[in-house]
Amino acid sequence: MQIKASTPSSVLLVCLGNICRSPTAEEIFRQQAAVAGLSIKIDSAGTSDWHIGKAPDPRSQRHAKSQGYNLSKLVARQVSAEDFYNFDLILAMDAQNLADLQAIKDSLPNTDNKLARLALFSEEDPNYSGDDVPDPYQGDNDDFEEVIERIESSVQGWIESWNAM
C-alpha cells in the first residue's frame, strides 16, 4: 500500500518501547523537516507501556549525540487512542508495530473518516523500502549506528516524496 498525499501537518513515530528507535526518529525527523522548510508537528510513542516516563536509552542518546541529534529532553509514552485523531500520519518502525497500530485503529469509531493514516516507516525509502527498522535494544554499538543510518534514509524518503508532489 503506497501512501501518496500532501505533506501531513503531524506525524507520530512508533516503536515498541519508545526508548530507542522512535525517539531517535523523532529528533532526526524534526531536524530534517526544519532543514527542508516543512512545518510538521512530530512526536513519538511506543506500543507497550514498559518505559513510560523514562528518557531514551542511554546508548541511543550517546549514538544520536555523536551524529548531532539531542534526545535528552524526550520522554517515553505509550500510544493512545487520541493519537489516531490528533495525528495525520502514524509511522511504525516495524511490521509488528504496524499490525498493533492497525488493531487499535480498527477498534476506534471513525465516523468522520478522520483517523490517522498508518504506514511502515521505511515505505518511502528507496534504500530500505518495506524493511523493518531493527530494534537495537539487545544489540551492540553497530546496531545503534545502523538504526540512525536507516532512520536518516527513511526520513529523507518521506520528505522527498512530499516535495515531489
Tell me the residue range of the domain where 87 lies: 10-163
pLDDT, tens digit (0-9, with 9 covering 90-100), for 75-104: 999 999 999 999 999 999 999 999 999 999
Question: Quick one: pLDDT band at residue 1, thresholds 50, 70, 90?
Answer: very low
pLDDT-above-70 percentage for the chain: 96
When divided into structural domains, the chain yields a total of 1
Active site residue 21: yes
67 in a structural domain: yes
- In this structure, the number of other CB atoms found within 10 A of the CB of residue 143 comes to 16
DSSP state of 13: E
Catalytic residue (choose from 43, 125, 135, 150): 135
- What pTM does this model have? 0.94
Mean pLDDT of the chain: 93
Active site residue 135: yes
Catalytic residue (choose from 20, 21, 77, 132): 21
The domain spanning residue 91 has which CATH number? 3.40.50.2300
* Beta strands, E only, the chain: 10-15, 41-46, 89-92, 117-120
100 in a structural domain: yes
- 63 is written with which cell numbers? 549514538
pLDDT above 60 (res 3): no
pLDDT above 60 (res 4): no
